[in-house]
Structure formats: structure tokens, C-alpha cells
Copies of this chain bind each other. A is one copy, B any other.
Amino acid sequence: MKDLTRVPAAEIAAWLRSRQLRAADVLEAALERIAAREPALHAWAFLDPERARHQAQALDAGPVRGPLHGLPLGVKDLMDTADMPTAYGSSIYAGHRPAWDAAVVASARAAGAIVVGKTVTTEFATFAPAATVNPHDFEHTPGGSSSGSAAAVADGMVPLAFGTQTVGSIIRPASFCGVVGYKPTFGTLSRAGVKLLSESLDTVGAIARTVDDAALMVGALCGRDELVDLARAERPWVGLCRTHDWRETRPEVATAMDAAARGLAAAGARVIQVDLPADFAPLGDAHGDILGYEIARNLGFERAHHNGRLSSRLRELLDAGAQVTAARYDRARELAHLARAALPGVFDACHVLLAPSTTGEAPVGLESTGNPVMNRVWTLLHVPCVTVPVATGPSGLPVGLQVIGRSGDDARTLAVARWIHERLGAG
């Protein structure tokens, strides 16, 4: 019997569908791992083993529900659950019990997934960290804001977990923890029942053991068979993209990019250099203006009624956001609109881009979740991003690179990410 805490979800799902394996056994393996490691990891905001066991028994006794039948799932605590408390990472909502499941949670359950519990998020998915540590080294941050989801998947607690990304909250923690993170094309998954921070940016996605697993999860939720069953990529054309923020990266990123270029070319990929247009340079600031304007309004109730229970970091973000004028917001949105329209040109000579997922391996310390500068522009551009672990840094921690595709071209982006992961995969 293989180690169920390490086998890809897609394999487990196949065994569950063919009844070679019981959902109850998959779940017990997950719960054992959680029981052993959670005291050190702090990946979970809430766990309900008994409820999960009842669901596993029901699934084993009934028909196959769907593509996620019997798979244990972590749900980021930014997402509403009717049967578990949802606090959005804030003491304001400690013990809060939503009246519904978020739409994607309802879809996951309808597809047969078993929600094991709620994974830790930073405060309202912003920058103030929670207690989760990096499973590879407890002195290092797991990244944020999907801290618990990334740590739980990396540690073998669950094969699948939800993440959300407004700046870099799926790709960064997945990269820091050495797992696969997939931010789909903007709008692929519903945000109903997910605490809204920025309507222009918030994106729901998946953290998983393999690219196939992440694709399976998202594909099952949005009804896209081409994701549930990814086609094979052949000799992809890959554009190495250092981005306008390359100066922020540490040496391990350059090493990983160079090694990837050599390794992919040797494996048969066509590898070219791709520079982003000069007028993409202000997109980082544009992202900040859009986030600021929107989050100051979207957390307006919390700011008015619970300001003392917000972290000083979040208060500063909201105060600064409240100063962003509608004119500045409109300019930022126009810039993003023009950049999205110019994006096909960037992909003229390649199927996907390959860019750093982070500025380096997970930094030491838990007071920050790390720098999201390598993510914000791709979030703003609404393109699919898939981070795969390809190297290790000076502290022996994972370093990921992200595969970036055209808007809507998720299936090919994932296929190429799998191709790259199979050839360069580390961690």
C-alpha cells in the first residue's frame, strides 16, 4: 500500500472511484497525519474529524458522487462553511458561523470532497501572519495568505486545499512550502461566500501535490473536462520572463531560472527570453491602487465598527487605500485594461511564460509572510499561474517557478506546468 499522505489526489481518486480504496481509509490517513503534526504546524483554524468520518462513511456506502469522491479537502478560512465556523483570520469573527457554504465549497462537496476543516488564513487574507509555520523548517514562514492550505498540503495532511489570491496568496505560499499552486484565469471559480477584498483581483484556486491534482480540483468545480483530464504537452515553447521586478529576487531564483532554461531545453522544449513591454512597469503600482481603493471600501464595516481589532498593518493598508481617489483608481484600471489587451503580443513566440514564483526561498521568521512582488502583476493581468517546485535555496527550502499562460488558456498552461514539473520537479 502506498503512503496515502503522499500519493497524488488523482491516483487516490481513481482508486476510490473503482472502490479499491475506501474514503474512510483515506480520511484516517489524513487525520493521523494531522494529529501528529498539527501541534507544531498550526495549519488549521478548525478541524472536525467526526463530521468528516461520518461523511466518509456515507460516501463509502453510497454511489460515486463525482470527480472528487472521497478526497479530503482543506478549506481556507476566508471561505464560508455552514457547518464550521469561519473567522476570515480575524478575532472580529471568532466563532462566526455563516448561513451557507461558499459556492465552491458547495460544488466541492457535491463532487464528493470531504471537508476536513478550515485552514489558517492571515488576517482577511492580507499581510498580518497567523501562527502557521513552514513544514520544511518551523523557523520559516509558510507564506501567506493561504498559509494553512499550503502547509497542510506540503505536510501530507490533505491532498487538496483551497487558496485565494489577491496579491500573491496562492503562488507564494505554495512555492515556499514546495507544493503546486494554481491560480486559474480570473473568474474561473465563483467568489460567492468568499470574503471579498478586491473584486478586481480576488481569485479562488487550488493548492495540491501535483499539477494534475490542482487541475482536477478546479476542473471539477467549474465543469471543465479538459482540466479534469489534462492533455499531454509536447515540446512546449517556454518564454523565460524575468519581469520588471527581477532586482528583488535573491540568487537562488537566478540559479533556478538558469537551471530550468538548461534543463527544459535539454528535455526538448524551445526556450526563449521574453521581456515584458516597458509600459508594464507601472502595473505593480496600479495593482496597489486598485487593491487599496477596493479593500478600503470592502472592509469599511470592519474599519468603522471594529477598528481596534484590526492589526496596525491592516489599518495602515485601509487608511492608505481610503486616500486613493476614484481618478487614480480609474487610471490604474485603464493601465491594467491596456496591458491585458497587449498581452497576446507577449505570447507571440511562446506557449507559456516561466517566471519566479517568489523572490527566493521562504525567509526566516514568522513576522512576515514574505514578499508578493513576483505575483501582483500576474494577478492584475488575470492570467492563469501554476507554481511548481523546481529547486532548493541556501537553507534547503523549496524554490518554485510559475508557469503563466494566456487568459483562458488554463488547460495548456497546466499541461506545460506538468511537463516542467515532471522534468525539473524538486521537493
Most buried by B among A103, A298, A301: A301
A192 touching B298 in the complex, CB below 8 Å, given contacts A96-B99, A222-B326, A223-B325: yes
A326 touching B106 in the complex, CB below 8 Å, given contacts A190-B298, A191-B196, A191-B199: no
Residues of chain B lying within 8 A (CB to CB) of residue A101: 300-301
Q: A residues 273-297 with Cβ under 8 Å of B?
A: 294, 297
Q: How far is the CB of A220 from chain B (nearest CB, A)?
A: 11
* Nearest-CB residue, chain B, relative to A200: B187
* Nearest-CB residue, chain B, relative to A294: B190
Q: Would you call B222 and A199 a contact (CB within 8 A)? A: no
Q: Would you call A326 and B107 a contact (CB within 8 A)? A: no
Q: How far is the CB of A98 from chain B (nearest CB, A)?
A: 8
Q: Would you call A192 and B187 a contact (CB within 8 A)? A: no
> In the complex, A299→B193 CA distance in Å?
10
* Nearest-CB residue, chain B, relative to A92: B99
Does A302 sit within 8 A of B, measured CB to CB? yes
Task: Specify which of B190, B192, B301, B408 is in contact with A330 (CB 8 Å cutoff).
Answer: B408
Considering only CB atoms and an 8 Å cut-off, how many residues of chain A contact the other chain? 39
Q: How far is the CB of A206 from chain B (nearest CB, A)?
A: 16
Q: Would you call B224 and A107 a contact (CB within 8 A)? A: no
Q: Would you call B199 and A326 a contact (CB within 8 A)? A: no
* Nearest-CB residue, chain B, relative to A223: B326
* Nearest-CB residue, chain B, relative to A341: B341
Q: Would you call A300 and B110 a contact (CB within 8 A)? A: yes
**Beta-carbon contacts of A147-190 to B below 8 Å, as 1s and 0s?**
00000000000000000000000000000000000000001001
Task: Specify which of B106, B192, B300 is in contact with A196 (CB 8 Å cutoff).
Answer: B192
Most buried by B among A106, A299, A330: A106
> In the complex, A191→B82 CA distance in Å?
21
Does A406 sit within 8 A of B, measured CB to CB? no
Residues of chain B lying within 8 A (CB to CB) of residue A222: 297, 326
Residues of chain B lying within 8 A (CB to CB) of residue A15: none
Residues of chain B lying within 8 A (CB to CB) of residue A138: none
Q: Would you call B191 and A300 a contact (CB within 8 A)? A: no
Q: A residues 362-380 with Cβ under 8 Å of B?
A: none
Does A109 sit within 8 A of B, measured CB to CB? yes
Q: A residues 201-256 with Cβ under 8 Å of B?
A: 222-224
Q: Would you call A106 and B191 a contact (CB within 8 A)? A: no
Most buried by B among A93, A192, A325, A408: A192
Residues of chain B lying within 8 A (CB to CB) of residue A299: 103
**Beta-carbon contacts of A92-135 to B below 8 Å, as 1s and 0s?**
01001001111111110110000000000000000000000000
Q: Would you call A304 and B196 a contact (CB within 8 A)? A: no
> In the complex, A102→B300 CA distance in Å?
9
* Nearest-CB residue, chain B, relative to A330: B408
* Nearest-CB residue, chain B, relative to A99: B96
Q: Would you call B298 and A103 a contact (CB within 8 A)? A: yes
Q: Would you call B106 and A304 a contact (CB within 8 A)? A: yes
Q: A residues 300-330 with Cβ under 8 Å of B?
A: 300-302, 304-305, 325-326, 330
Residues of chain B lying within 8 A (CB to CB) of residue A99: 93, 96
* Nearest-CB residue, chain B, relative to A97: B99
Q: How far is the CB of A233 from chain B (nearest CB, A)?
A: 21
8 other A-B residue contacts (CB within 8 Å) besides A101-B301, A223-B325: A82-B301, A103-B301, A106-B301, A190-B199, A191-B199, A193-B301, A222-B297, A224-B326
Q: Could you name 29 residue pairs across A and B whose Cβ atoms are closer than 8 Å?
A: A100-B301, A100-B302, A102-B301, A103-B196, A103-B297, A103-B298, A103-B300, A103-B301, A104-B297, A106-B297, A106-B300, A106-B301, A106-B304, A107-B297, A110-B304, A187-B199, A187-B200, A190-B199, A190-B294, A190-B297, A190-B298, A191-B196, A191-B199, A192-B196, A192-B297, A222-B297, A222-B326, A223-B326, A330-B408
Pick the 5 closest A-B CB pairs, nearest first.
A106-B300, A192-B196, A106-B301, A192-B298, A101-B301
